[in-house]
């Protein structure tokens, strides 16, 4: 068991994100629930952080990238994305949950590969 030099952030969608998702052409609103979206929230490793103040600066520097990655998971057509993707909209669409300590229970070394959005 090893403690890693990272903290974990969960980006949990809120109702406005689900509303956008359900308004997309061809969506099946009855097939997606807020509870399901929140239960499968994206997990992000960040530098060690004890509180939201420490997370805020790191996240704000990457806001555009994070927002676009969340949208791209669900919709490849960028013309359907909100035009103004700022911190106010991000905070309305996502809860940020922090877990300051991450423990690796696997003996094998961590592996990394570049992020690739799903090919929809």
pLDDT in tens, 37-84: 999 999 999 999 888 888 888 998 999 999 999 999 999 999 999 999
Structure pTM? 0.84
Does residue 27 surpass a pLDDT of 90?
Answer: no
Q: Residue 117: pLDDT band by 50, 70, 90 thresholds? A: low
Domain boundaries, the chain: 2-104
Compute the average pLDDT of residues 84-112: 92
Say which residues have a Cβ less than 8 Å from residue 10's Cβ, sequence separation at least 6.
Answer: 41, 42, 43, 44, 96, 97, 99
Q: 69 or 118, which is more confident?
A: 69
């Amino acid at each position: 068991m090893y403690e890693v030099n990272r903290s974990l952030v969960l980006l949990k969608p809120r109702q406005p994100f689900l509303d956008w998702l359900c308004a997309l052409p061809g969506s099946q609103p009855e097939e997606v629930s807020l509870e399901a979206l929140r239960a499968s929230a994206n997990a992000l490793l960040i530098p060690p952080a004890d509180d939201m103040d420490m997370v805020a600066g790191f996240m704000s520097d990457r806001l555009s990238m994070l927002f676009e990655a969340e949208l791209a998971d669900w919709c490849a057509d960028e013309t359907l994305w909100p035009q103004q993707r700022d911190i106010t909209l991000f905070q309305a669409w996502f809860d940020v949950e922090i877990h300051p300590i991450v423990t690796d229970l696997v003996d094998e070394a961590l592996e990394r590969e570049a992020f690739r959005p799903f090919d929809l």
